[in-house]
C-alpha cells in the first residue's frame, strides 16, 4: 500500500436519507479506484460496506464502515454512514475524521427528513458538503423537483454543476457545467465518453455557468472585485472561488450519479480529488487545552480513535485518524487518557473487512490497528515528548429506554460483558445499572436501535435476553411541615438498645432562613441551631440536616447515626420506594440511656421518625419532565400535536423551518414510552425528535393514587 502525503488525502463521510444509495455508491467508488474487482449489491448481500449479518437481514446499514479508494494519485478515505436516524451515532463518529461530506439525494424524493436531520449534524460540525443527486436511472426520478426542494432548503448555496439529459430508466448522460462537456456512459457504466454540448443545451449551460461564476465570486472579496470589473471570472478564478466556497460551506455543488449503474462515479471521484479540501486545508483541530494542532507530518505524532469494532477471531479493532506527525509499524506510543504504553504492531488500511498492511501513515490519514491493550473510542495516543489530548466526540442524548434482563440468572455476568462491548461499538447505546429501579436500563436512539442490540445479544453473544417495561425514576417530597417522635427500645438479655428522637421535617427551598420556631398541632416548638449540614443528593435536590439538641438530651456522637437513618429512608422513600429530595430535617429533642444507647439504636429511631413524619407532611410523588423537540413535515403537524396532547404534553412553541414544523413541548417521561415508534408510524418515518431532562414536577392526584396502590401490591407480593 502506498504512503500518501497529507495533501494527497481526501477524507469524506457519505451521508443521506435511508435508501438514498450510500452503500451502493461506496461500492462503486471502491470499484472505480480498483480496490475491488467486481461490484457487489445490497440485494445480493455482498457489498464491502454492509458486511454484517444483521445488515444483510435488514438491507440497510447499522454501523458506519471505514473504506478507501485510490484515484488520480489521491487516496479517498470514505466513511459510509447509516441513513436511519436510530443509527445516527455512525454518522457522528464518521464526522470526526472527515474533512468534508457527500450528501446523497434520492432523485425520486428530493430533500427528505433524513436529509434535514443529517444536514444539521453536518452544519453543526461545519463540514463542507457536496450534494449528489442519485438514482437518476429510476422511473420516478425527477431532477427538476429535486433541485427545487434543495433550493428551498439551501437557497443559492445549492449550485448546479451537472444536470441529466435523460433522467429515468434510460439515463446514461449528463451535462457538466464546470467542464462544459457532456458525459456519456456505456450500458454497464464505468468510464464516460466526453463529448461537446449539443446546441439545444447551450443556453441552459450559459445560464447555469453564470450562476456558478456569481456564487464563486461571492466567496472572496478580490474575486468579487474582478467580477464587478469584468462581469465574469476566468475559469481559473471560478475554480478557485468554487473550492473556497465549498470549504467555507457557502457553496453546495450539485452533481449527478446513478450508483447502481456505475454512472457519474468517475467524475464524482475526480471532483472530490480536485475540489474537496485535503486535511491541511481545513481548520486545524484543537486539543482539550485549546491548542491548535495542524495536520503536519513534521510535528510529534498523535492519533485519535473515533471508532471501535469487534470481530470474533481478531478482537478489538481501533479506527483512528492521524492528527499530527507520522506513525510507523512497531511504534511505541502512550494513551493520553490512561497513561499506559501501547504498541502499533500493525497499521492497517481498511475497506470493510478487507485490510492491507502499510508501514507508515502521515498526518490527516485514516487507518486501523489491532491488539491495543486499553485503548477505546475517544482516546488519544501520542508519541515523543509532546502530549496531545483531543476532545471526545459528543453523541446525542438517548430517546428510548427499555429494561433488559438475562432469561437465565447464570448469564447475568455474560450479559454485562456483552452490553459493555456493544457500548464500545456504538457509544449511543448507554447502559445504566439502576440501584434505584433495580433494573438494567438500556438507552438508545429508538426502538429499532435497541431491537438490533437485542439481536446481537441473542445471536452473536449467545445470551438469551428479554425486554421488560422500564420503571420510572420518580422522586418523593413533602409539601408541609410535620413532627414525629419515635422511641426505639429493645431488651434481649445483655445490653439492650435504646434511642428516642424528636424530629420536625419541612419542604426545602433556596434561601430559606434557618429555623427558629414551629407551631405543631397548636403547640409552639422553639429550636436553637447547634449544627447544620447541607447535602446535595446524587439523585438531585437537597437534604438539610439541623442539630438543634440542647441540654445534652442526645449526645452529639449519635447525630451522624440519626442522619444515616434519615438518609437510608431518603434512598427508599416511604411512598413508593423512590428517592426523596428537597427536605429539611430538624432534630430538636430526644432521650438516651447511659448503657443501652448506641449508634444502631439512634439510626433506627431517626429512620422511623423520618418515615412517620413524612407521611403526615403532605407527601407528593414527583415525575421527570422532559424537554421534547419534534421536527415534523407540515402536513403531519396536526396528528403529532394530538398525539403529544394525549401524552399530557405542554406545548411551549412552534416554528417553521425548511418546509418542516418544529414543535417544542414538555412531556412526562412516563408518557414517552415507545414514542419514537409512534412518531414514525404517524409520519411514515418522516419526523424526528430529541429529548432531555428538564425538571421534576408533582404527578396529578389520580396518578399518585395509582402509583401508591401499585407499590402496596408490590410490597405484598414481596
447 within domain boundaries: yes
Sort strands 9-16 and 100-106 into parallel, antiparallel or unpaired: parallel
The pLDDT value recorded for residue 718 is 62
| pLDDT above 70 for 99 | yes
Do 635 and 607 have their domain in common? no
Total domains in the chain come to 5
| DSSP helix/strand/coil, 435 | coil
Percent of the chain at pLDDT exceeding 90 = 84
Q: Which residues, in sequence order, are CB contacts of 404 under 8 Å at separation 6+?
A: 415, 419, 440, 441, 442, 454, 465, 466, 467, 468
CATH number for the domain harbouring residue 463: 3.30.70.870
712 within domain boundaries: no
CATH number for the domain harbouring residue 543: 3.30.230.10
CATH number for the domain harbouring residue 328: 2.40.30.10
Q: Which residues, in sequence order, are CB contacts of 374 under 8 Å at separation 6+?
A: 335, 338, 340, 342
Do 551 and 600 have their domain in common? yes
Closest CA to 82 of 43, 110, 108, 52: 52
Do 506 and 598 have their domain in common? yes
Domain stops at, among 437, 471, 505: 471
| pLDDT above 70 for 493 | no
Do 119 and 263 have their domain in common? yes
Least confident of 178-192, 600-614, 680-694: 680-694
Measured distance CA(204)–CA(198) in Å, rounded: 11
342 within domain boundaries: yes
C-alpha cell at 49: 460496506
Instruction: Give pLDDT tens digits for 126-152.
Output: 999 999 999 999 999 999 999 999 999
Distance, C-alpha 457 to centroid of its chain: 21
Least confident of 232-236, 250-254, 567-571, 621-625: 232-236
Domain stops at, among 319, 347, 382: 382
What is the arithmetic mean of pLDDT over 205-228? 93
Do 537 and 631 have their domain in common? no
The pLDDT value recorded for residue 381 is 97
CATH number for the domain harbouring residue 276: 3.40.50.300
Distance, C-alpha 395 to centroid of its chain: 3
Do 638 and 520 have their domain in common? no
Rounded to the nearest 10 degrees, what angle do helices 265-275 and 235-247 cross at? 80
Measured distance CA(676)–CA(674) in Å, rounded: 5
Distance, C-alpha 619 to centroid of its chain: 37
Q: What residues make up the domain containing 125?
A: 6-198+249-281
What is the arithmetic mean of pLDDT over 84-99? 95
Distance, C-alpha 475 to centroid of its chain: 27
**CB neighbour burial string for 566-586, b if at least 16 within 10 angstroms, e if fewer:** bbebbbebbbbbbbbbbbbbb
The pLDDT value recorded for residue 522 is 86
What is the arithmetic mean of pLDDT over 639-651? 95
462 within domain boundaries: yes
Distance, C-alpha 434 to centroid of its chain: 21
The pLDDT value recorded for residue 61 is 87
Beta bridge partners of 485: 502
Do 187 and 52 have their domain in common? yes
Q: Which residues, in sequence order, are CB contacts of 446 under 8 Å at separation 6+?
A: 85, 86, 399, 400, 676, 677, 680
Domain stops at, among 565, 585, 618: 618
Measured distance CA(290)–CA(294) in Å, rounded: 13
Instruction: Give pLDDT tens digits for 546-560.
Output: 999 998 999 999 999
Instruction: Give pLDDT tens digits for 292-346.
Output: 999 999 999 999 999 999 887 888 999 999 999 999 999 999 999 999 999 999 9
- Could you give the maximum distance between any two Cα atoms of the chain, in Å? 113
Q: Could you give phi then psi for residue 323, rounded to 5 degrees?
A: -85, -30
In what side-by-side order are the strands of the sheet with 531-536? 482-490, 497-507, 583-591, 542-547, 531-536
Please say whether the beta carbons of 246 and 253 come within 8 A. yes
Closest CA to 713 of 571, 614, 576, 569: 576
Closest CA to 317 of 421, 390, 174: 421
> Global pTM?
0.88
Do 375 and 521 have their domain in common? no
Measured distance CA(22)–CA(15) in Å, rounded: 7
| pLDDT above 80 for 659 | no
| pLDDT above 80 for 658 | no
Do 466 and 487 have their domain in common? no
The pLDDT value recorded for residue 25 is 97
667 within domain boundaries: yes
Instruction: Give pLDDT tens digits for 42-64.
Output: 888 899 988 888 888 877 888 99
585 within domain boundaries: yes
Do 583 and 464 have their domain in common? no
Highest mean pLDDT among 43-47, 561-565, 687-691: 561-565
Place of cell 470549504: 247
352 within domain boundaries: yes
Residue spans of alpha helices (H) in 616-686: 637-645, 675-683
Instruction: Give pLDDT tens digits for 537-547.
Output: 999 999 999 99
230 within domain boundaries: no
Q: How many CB atoms lie within 10 A of CB 536?
A: 8
Do 364 and 257 have their domain in common? no
C-alpha cell at 617: 407532611
Please say whether the beta carbons of 426 and 63 come within 8 A. yes
| Average of per-residue pLDDT values in the chain | 94
Do 349 and 413 have their domain in common? no
Amino acid at each position: 500500500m502506498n504512503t500518501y502525503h497529507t495533501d494527497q488525502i481526501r477524507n469524506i463521510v457519505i451521508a443521506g436519507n435511508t435508501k438514498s444509495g450510500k452503500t451502493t455508491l461506496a461500492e462503486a467508488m471502491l470499484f472505480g479506484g480498483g480496490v475491488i474487482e467486481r461490484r457487489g449489491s445490497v440485494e445480493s448481500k455482498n457489498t464491502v460496506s454492509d458486511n454484517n449479518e444483521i445488515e444483510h437481514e435488514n438491507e440497510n446499514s447499522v454501523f458506519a464502515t471505514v473504506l478507501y479508494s485510490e484515484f488520480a494519485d489521491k487516496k479517498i478515505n470514505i466513511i459510509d454512514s447509516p441513513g436511519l436516524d436510530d443509527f445516527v451515532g455512525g454518522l457522528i463518529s464518521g464526522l470526526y475524521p472527515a474533512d468534508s461530506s457527500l450528501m446523497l439525494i434520492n432523485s425520486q424524493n428530493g430533500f427528505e427528513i433524513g436529509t434535514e436531520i443529517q444536514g444539521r449534524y453536518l452544519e453543526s460540525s461545519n463540514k463542507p458538503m457536496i450534494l449528489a443527486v442519485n438514482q437518476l436511472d429510476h422511473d420516478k426520478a425527477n431532477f427538476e423537483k429535486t433541485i427545487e426542494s434543495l433550493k428551498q432548503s439551501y437557497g443559492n448555496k445549492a449550485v448546479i454543476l451537472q444536470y441529466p439529459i435523460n433522467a429515468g430508466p434510460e439515463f446514461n448522460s449528463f451535462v457538466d457545467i464546470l467542464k462544459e462537456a457532456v458525459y456519456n456512459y456505456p450500458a454497464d457504466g464505468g468510464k464516460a465518453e466526453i463529448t461537446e454540448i449539443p446546441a439545444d443545451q447551450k443556453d441552459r449551460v450559459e445560464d447555469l455557468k453564470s450562476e456558478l461564476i456569481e456564487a464563486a465570486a461571492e466567496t472572496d472579496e478580490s474575486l468579487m472585485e474582478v467580477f464587478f470589473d469584468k462581469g465574469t471570472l476566468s475559469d481559473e478564478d471560478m475554480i478557485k472561488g468554487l473550492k473556497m466556497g465549498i470549504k467555507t460551506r457557502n457553496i453546495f455543488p450539485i452533481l449527478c450519479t446513478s450508483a447502481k449503474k456505475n454512472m457519474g462515479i468517475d467524475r464524482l471521484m475526480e471532483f472530490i480529488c480536485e475540489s474537496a479540501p485535503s486535511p491541511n486545508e481545513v481548520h486545524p483541530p484543537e486539543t482539550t487545552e485549546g491548542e491548535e494542532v495542524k495536520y503536519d507530518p513534521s510535528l510529534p505524532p498523535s492519533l485519535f480513535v473515533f471508532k471501535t469494532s469487534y470481530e470474533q477471531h481478531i478482537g478489538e479493532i481501533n479506527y483512528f485518524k492521524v492528527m499530527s506527525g507520522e506513525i510507523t509499524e512497531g511504534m511505541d506510543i502512550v494513551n493520553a487518557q490512561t497513561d499506559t504504553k501501547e504498541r502499533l504492531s500493525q497499521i492497517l488500511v481498511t475497506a470493510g473487512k478487507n485490510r492491507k498492511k502499510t508501514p507508515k501513515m502521515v498526518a490527516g490519514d485514516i487507518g486501523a490497528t489491532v491488539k491495543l491493550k486499553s485503548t477505546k473510542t475517544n482516546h488519544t495516543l501520542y508519541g515523543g515528548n509532546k502530549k496531545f489530548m483531543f476532545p471526545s466526540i459528543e453523541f446525542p442524548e438517548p430517546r428510548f429506554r427499555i429494561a433488559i434482563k438475562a432469561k437465565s440468572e447464570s448469564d447475568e455476568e455474560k450479559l454485562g460483558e456483552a452490553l459493555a462491548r456493544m457500548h464500545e461499538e456504538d457509544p449511543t447505546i448507554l447502559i445504566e445499572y439502576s440501584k434505584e429501579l433495580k433494573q438494567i436500563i438500556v438507552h438508545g436512539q429508538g426502538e429499532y436501535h435497541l431491537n438490533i442490540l437485542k439481536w446481537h445479544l441473542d445471536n452473536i453473544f449467545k445470551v438469551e435476553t428479554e425486554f421488560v417495561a422500564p420503571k420510572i425514576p420518580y422522586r418523593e417530597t413533602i409539601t408541609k411541615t410535620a413532627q414525629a417522635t419515635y422511641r426505639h427500645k429493645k431488651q434481649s438479655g445483655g445490653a439492650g438498645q435504646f434511642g428516642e428522637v424528636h424530629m420536625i421535617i419541612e419542604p426545602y427551598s433556596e434561601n430559606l432562613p434557618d429555623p427558629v420556631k414551629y407551631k405543631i398541632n397548636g403547640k409552639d416548638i422553639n429550636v436553637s441551631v447547634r449544627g447544620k449540614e447541607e447535602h446535595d443528593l446524587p439523585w438531585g435536590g437537597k437534604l438539610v440536616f439541623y442539630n438543634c439538641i440542647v441540654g445534652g438530651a442526645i449526645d452529639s456522637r449519635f447525630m451522624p447515626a440519626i442522619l444515616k437513618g434519615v438518609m437510608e429512608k431518603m434512598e427508599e422513600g416511604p411512598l413508593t420506594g423512590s428517592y426523596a429530595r428537597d427536605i429539611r430535617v430538624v432534630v430538636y429533642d430526644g432521650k438516651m440511656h447511659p448503657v443501652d444507647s448506641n449508634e444502631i439504636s439512634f439510626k433506627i429511631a431517626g429512620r422511623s421518625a423520618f418515615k412517620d413524619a413524612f407521611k403526615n407532611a403532605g407527601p407528593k410523588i414527583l415525575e421527570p419532565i422532559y424537554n421534547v423537540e419534534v421536527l415534523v413535515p407540515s402536513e403531519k403537524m396536526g396528528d403529532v400535536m394530538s398525539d403529544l396532547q394525549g401524552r399530557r404534553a405542554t406545548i411551549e412553541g412552534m416554528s417553521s423551518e425548511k418546509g418542516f414544523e418544529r414543535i417544542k413541548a414538555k412531556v412526562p417521561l412516563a408518557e414517552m414510552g415507545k414514542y419514537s415508534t409512534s412518531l414514525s408510524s404517524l409520519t411514515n418515518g418522516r419526523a424526528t425528535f430529541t429529548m432531555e431532562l428538564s425538571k421534576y414536577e408533582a404527578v396529578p392526584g389520580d396518578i399518585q393514587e395509582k402509583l401508591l396502590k401499585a407499590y402496596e401490591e408490590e410490597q405484598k407480593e414481596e
